[in-house]
A and B are shown apart, each in its own frame.
Chain A
């Protein structure tokens, strides 16, 4: 069994694929819910969907190239040179991914309220290729490309390093099957999420999936801080701490808030705990940094949404009188007003 199926490799690949697939499926669901409606511009939907797929494919291509180069170098050097800085880039990528997801998540939820405006804005942005655009708009325009691209880059690089690191103790024959099945299993879960997502009432789906995304983002944020701490501890210790096990000596006691000698999301691919880490930021060895950053992240999110809630409630009150008029006139095309939205439209149809 270990000769043809390296279990840690499967878990590593599965975990990284699942993380990518979750983001991709939510993005695709979002696009389908938002743009693939009878009265919307279907070409924009196809175009944005292509962005997502292009991001995934481009990221996957880059990863294959980097992975091939790294593993080639890895085997030619015969040393685990990558593991030394692995935590540094993993931490940085985690933080970047967390911030991107946070920004995207808010945008997704806001779209449910201002869908037609958002839809039009994106459509316009995509059509107006000759129009002068600001950097922010450009970022927004290509965010559906950038997000999957960065996600797959991060997860893929991580997978390459981990798989490479595990590789020393496994024969080459034990790689292909777990890598392929890991990708298939991760993608399958993503497809199920995507298909399931379609059946949700749009708004419920958006709330649930946004909550889910923010859980992932909070976990990523915490994990980013944790990983950077692990990087500095690894520099102090001078070795790959995560691969020394989950027991004493695998963590910096000075930073420890809790530590259980099991359930490590890092050691040998992490198994179920690795998935738990990917979804909720679980750590068997929590640090002050990881706990505080996790809580601060949520506090920031809570403040942000409360602020948005009251601002929009106030706006809704002040614009209530002209709501119907505005709705009729503009059909949600005027920014700054909060006219009709998806929930209403879908409900009207279903009625």
Chain B
């Protein structure tokens, strides 16, 4: 195994006036890797290599990704996590939502301009595919940004979790009658830049801009650098006022950038530690090492210390962050609704995840394609299917979304196409959100981000502006929960989208090449968009108590018992008759 060094890139001193077009030719292929040194396995790489390339651009650049699905047996797609895609909603990437999945051998091009600086990432958005390796940071540098000049170098540290089994195998065990409690597969290792023992060579007395991404399938990680303080300046692409932290907590899909000023003394090296949050795991397997360690190296001739034990995990609370632009809470929401999170079992005995009693089931036509073709009916949620959990917003709505977590687990909720304000977040076990509770106070200048943790049994209030016409998923970023249905579909200003957005021909060819419909409602009905017969629906619920089958069985059992008792009585009473006769 070859250790992967942190990639440094010296801040570009040449500020180009004209935005560039950055082109990537990505052929998705299988390859082999052993990032934790414990187990060599097949992984999904790009152009025969793994880890896959980091997309590294500057604000204003155009990105062109020519994607070929070189996987012989499975579908794929790419989602650029956190990129707003304003005006190019069809480039967002989730299969069944903004495009058809690419079948084996198919190709398509993602082409969009990025006007938002920050730390992002990209990954497959087909089923639970990215934990098999198709995930990497997506960095949008900001040479003229507010923190430009306050650091000497930029560094990317991507945390992740790692499974020794491939996702389809784990998934078939996860969503099955044999796992009625819905216990999520526990990762085998934690990784840092897709390896362990990552070296981070530093010079004394310098300041580094460290861009962090958690690309995990499941595990959130606590992160700290021994002997050093982090000054947070960005979360999920939104600059914040500087905030000092000794330890941060990154859920799956969250990003943080912080300034790290090195010591003036090179006598000692320091451990960089990521530690998976084991509260997420139903059962911690024997021998699991939840930690991944790297090193801040001042002097490579000095020893690399093992991490010291910590008494307690006390990470920085991201709720306290203040956006650098000083944006106030968006008042007077024009569209308010709530999503109730619950886990339950359906008729096949497997454990599914629900928003408002609905477990997400993909439609027959990508939702965005339905929206573009539905004419005046595009504002009618029903046409998008019962189990896509559709919610339609008008252009420039201020949306208030209350999430009530009725599940005793932590969930990182992610909204595509937006950052939202975290107006309020309760502690653990606060129960349902109650607007009239005097102890509930909204943040005046709420932190904005695109992925946020909700506490177990708690609630939160998010606000965002429907200023991005498109179809955007809202989902838990634990891959297991995406696959068990913890997903809702937000259809935003489809009327505006119909006027301003046109599907690229190569996107449509992906569908037609597989004989998948490109028009029609969720049931692929084109004549009458309100006719949803034949739409994809979730597994039916468990039968309630006594069905006809159960009543028949119970009646038969009772009759059998009475007949049996009668037989005994007749046999036994023979002599009574004999006596009386």
Contact = CB atoms under 8 A, between A and B. Distances in A.
Interface of A: 109, 112-113, 203, 206-207, 210-211, 214-215, 218, 236-239, 241, 244, 248-250, 252-254, 256-261, 280, 286, 291, 294-295, 298-299, 301-302, 305-306, 308-309, 312-313, 316, 341, 343-344, 347
B534 interface: no
Contact of B550 (A244, A258, A280): A258
Chain A residues touching B, majority SS: helix
Contacts of A260: 545-546
Top 7 nearest A-B pairs by Cβ distance?
A258-B550, A249-B180, A248-B345, A253-B349, A298-B560, A207-B572, A298-B564
B177 interface: yes
A79 B571 CA distance: 51
Given A207-B568, A295-B557, A309 B574 contact: yes
B554 to A, nearest CB: 7
Given A207-B573, A258-B554, A298 B547 contact: no
A299 B579 CA distance: 29
Contacts of A291: 553, 556-557
Given A236-B178, A257-B549, A258-B543, 19 more contacts: A109-B572, A112-B575, A113-B574, A203-B575, A236-B177, A237-B179, A237-B181, A249-B180, A253-B177, A253-B345, A253-B542, A254-B349, A258-B551, A286-B553, A295-B557, A298-B561, A306-B567, A341-B575, A343-B576
A258 B549 contact: yes
Nearest to A280: B561
Contacts of B543: 256, 258-259
A18 to B, nearest CB: 20
B407 to A, nearest CB: 14
B570 interface: yes
A210 B572 contact: yes
Given A203-B576, A301-B568, A302-B564, A258 B542 contact: no
20 contacts: A113-B574, A207-B573, A214-B568, A215-B561, A248-B351, A249-B181, A250-B180, A254-B349, A257-B549, A257-B553, A258-B549, A258-B551, A259-B550, A294-B560, A295-B557, A299-B560, A301-B568, A312-B574, A341-B575, A343-B575
Contact of A257 (B180, B550, B578): B550
A203 B578 CA distance: 12
Contacts of B568: 109, 207, 210-211, 214, 301, 305
B504 interface: no
Contact of A206 (B179, B554, B564, B572): B572
Nearest to A286: B553
B572 A112 contact: yes
Nearest to A312: B574
A258 B553 contact: yes
Contacts of B574: 113, 309, 312-313
B306 interface: no
A214 B565 contact: yes
Contacts of A261: 545
A286 B554 CA distance: 9
A252 B571 CA distance: 39
Nearest to A222: B557
A264 to B, nearest CB: 13
A140 to B, nearest CB: 21
A250 B542 CA distance: 12
B344 A248 contact: yes
B544 to A, nearest CB: 9
Nearest to B345: A248
B11 interface: no
Nearest to A296: B560
Contacts of A306: 567, 571
A308 B560 contact: no
Contacts of B556: 291, 295
A347 B557 CA distance: 36
A197 B348 CA distance: 49
Nearest to A347: B579
Contacts of A343: 575-576, 579
B227 interface: no
Contacts of B549: 257-258
- Most chain B CB within a 10 A radius of its CB, from A257, A308, A341: A257
B288 interface: no
A109 B571 contact: yes
B185 to A, nearest CB: 13
A329 B348 CA distance: 70
A286 B543 CA distance: 13
B342 to A, nearest CB: 11
A18 B346 CA distance: 38
Contacts of B546: 258, 260
B496 interface: no
A252 B546 CA distance: 16
B567 A301 contact: yes
Contacts of B579: 343-344, 347
Nearest to B348: A253
B393 to A, nearest CB: 34
B569 interface: yes
Contacts of B571: 109, 305-306, 308-309
A207 B573 CA distance: 8
A259 B542 contact: yes
A107 to B, nearest CB: 13
B347 interface: yes
A341 B574 CA distance: 12
B409 to A, nearest CB: 15
Interface in B382-404: none
Contacts of B347: 253
A287 to B, nearest CB: 10
Contacts of B5: none
A257 B547 CA distance: 8
B440 interface: no
Interface in B4-20: none
Contacts of A254: 177, 349
Interface string B63-93: 0000000000000000000000000000000
B148 interface: no
B564 A214 contact: yes
A262 to B, nearest CB: 9
A113 B575 contact: yes
A5 B551 CA distance: 38
A211 B569 contact: yes
A295 B556 CA distance: 7
B563 interface: yes
A229 to B, nearest CB: 13
A241 B345 CA distance: 14
A121 B165 CA distance: 68
Given A211-B569, A305-B570, A218 B349 contact: no
- Most chain A CB within a 10 A radius of its CB, from B547, B565, B578: B565
